[in-house]
Amino acid sequence: MIEAEAAPPAPPATASPLVAPATTARVVELSYFFPAHNEEANLEGLVEEALTALPRLADRFEIIAIDDGSTDGTGPIADRLAAANPGVVRVVHHATNLGYGAALRSGFRAAQFGLVAFTDGDRQFRVADLGRLTARLAGPDLPDAVVGFRIRRADPALRTLYARLYRLANRTFFGLRIRDVDCACKLFRRQALTGIHVASGGAFFSAELLIKVRAAGRNVVEVGVDHYPRTAGSQTGAKLSVIWRSVVDFWSLRLRLWANRRRALARGSTIVG
């Protein structure tokens, strides 16, 4: 159940219809998770931020940190935060670094509530901005998923160029008309993920998930969110190994869809049990 708070004044007529006004909708329960690989400098601040923001968004909530084989202090810090907040903060550990998609998969599977949201662990999104997504979820069209798009990307120019080319490739070869495929600010109804299989364990995970959710007839909508510069830690998405894995996963899905669409859509592990 979603209870919308009082709406603010209407945005200017020039505002994009995809950019939500600064409002929220309170939900009964919400699972929030984030993947973290070597994010010791960001982890504690992010959990504290979530502990402050989520009580304003949900009657019941949980925070799940996915430690994806970190080699710094991420794991011990996460365990300490979980011990200090029993029943609210939980940790899933990967013994080795399995990749971004594998971390997201673990987050979805660990989530217990009917609404599941995630951001990245680098603090380039604000947890409070999930309220824009819950507000859109309460819309009259009752979407199954709300995915954010970065209103202004706080990334280097080359990374932004790669993202535009990637968006174009997904639109051209998969018909995926999502403005910001890899925006790490998304909200799903858990029931909408039932029966969805994803094979990628890398950075292509988000695109494959959206492709298959759309193919299953789910209603996916978008809303603008703010994006902030990374102030601690280092990015891994631009590594050649990460990019190559995405290219392989991209073409693997495209070729399999051409060969046998039904089998391609059923390939991979389920997102929720």
Yes or no: say if 214 and 10 are a contact pair by the CB < 8 Å rule: no
Q: Given this model, what pLDDT does residue 15 score?
A: 36
The verdict on residue 6 lying in a domain is: no
The verdict on residue 36 lying in a domain is: yes
The verdict on residue 2 lying in a domain is: no
The verdict on residue 55 lying in a domain is: yes
Residue 265 has which token pair? Answer: 């859509």
The verdict on residue 217 lying in a domain is: yes
Number of domains in the chain: 1
Q: Given this model, what pLDDT does residue 62 score?
A: 98
Yes or no: say if 89 and 81 are a contact pair by the CB < 8 Å rule: yes
Check which CATH number belongs to the domain holding 175 and give it. Answer: 3.90.550.10
Distance of alpha carbon 168 from its chain centroid, rounded? Answer: 20
Global pTM? 0.89
First to last CA, the chain: 22
Q: How far apart are CA 203 and CA 162, in angstroms?
A: 13
Phi and psi torsions of 77, nearest 5°: -65, -45
Q: Which of 246, 231, 30, 244 is nearest to 121 (CA)?
A: 231
Q: Given this model, what pLDDT does residue 8 score?
A: 38
Q: Which of 125, 114, 167 is nearest to 1 (CA)?
A: 114
Q: Given this model, what pLDDT does residue 71 score?
A: 97
The verdict on residue 18 lying in a domain is: no
**CA triple 18-19-24, angle to 5 deg:** 115
**Cα distances (angstroms) measured from residue 172 to each of 109, 176, 198:** 31, 8, 20
Q: What domain range includes position 143?
A: 25-270
Q: Which residues of the chain have pLDDT under 50?
A: 4-21
The verdict on residue 8 lying in a domain is: no
Burial 233-251 (b: 16+ CB within 10 A, else e): beebbeeeebeebbeebbe
The verdict on residue 240 lying in a domain is: yes
Q: Given this model, what pLDDT does residue 12 score?
A: 36
